[in-house]
Amino acid sequence: MRTGVSVEEARAIVLEAAAVLEAERVPAADALGRALAEPVVSTRTLPPADVSAMDGYALRAADLAGAARGAPVRLAVAYEVAAGGGAPRALRPGEAARIFTGAPIPPGADTVVPQEEVEGDAGGVRFRAPAPVGDCVRSAGEDVRAGDAVLAPGDLVGPAQLGMLAALGRS
């Protein structure tokens, strides 16, 4: 019997002698703590479209170019976009849409201003600062693109991996 084996060598000896279990299909909810037997490749783009990262107002950044504390810019609120919903039409210059976290950015909008930075009035909202293009917007595919390998064989399935499997529709 050999003595003085390092931890790495001992681990290699044990793993070499261990039998590999056959793969089995289980519901995703029962996969917690298991190792994946095959790669998971995304069939979806996540998010599927540009979406709001905040509750606030979607608008054209150009509409707020002259906004300042002493000279706020007022925009009419055209409609509301809920998460899972959609815009009834494209935003026009001078309009904003009330938007919620995860909701798709309406056509014509290119930025979101958080609700905490806005003052509302009857039918409109006032902005006291310009907003950069793309602010508070999560781009389509920012998390995952269709065709991306997201999990590899041997990866342990934990809560984050279960969340990804659910988001990809892998049951």
pLDDT, tens digit, 9 for 90 and up, residues 80-117: 999 989 999 999 999 999 999 999 999 999 999 999 99
71 forms beta bridges with 68
- Residue 142 has a pLDDT of 94
Instruction: Say if residue 18's pLDDT is above 70.
Output: yes
- Residue 4 has a pLDDT of 84
Contact 162, 34 (CB under 8 A): no
Dist. CA 98–CA 81, nearest whole Å: 6
Instruction: Say if residue 2's pLDDT is above 80.
Output: no
| C-alpha to C-alpha distances, 61 to 46, 75, 79, 85, 90, nearest whole angstrom | 24, 12, 18, 22, 15
> Residue 114, preceding bond cis, omega within 30 degrees?
no
Contact 98, 118 (CB under 8 A): no
Structural domains of the chain, with CATH: 23-45+143-167 (3.90.105.10), 51-138 (2.170.190.11)
- Residue 149 has a pLDDT of 96
Which residues have a Cβ under 8 Å from the Cβ of 115 and sit 6 or more positions away?
54, 55, 56, 57
Dist. CA 136–CA 30, nearest whole Å: 36
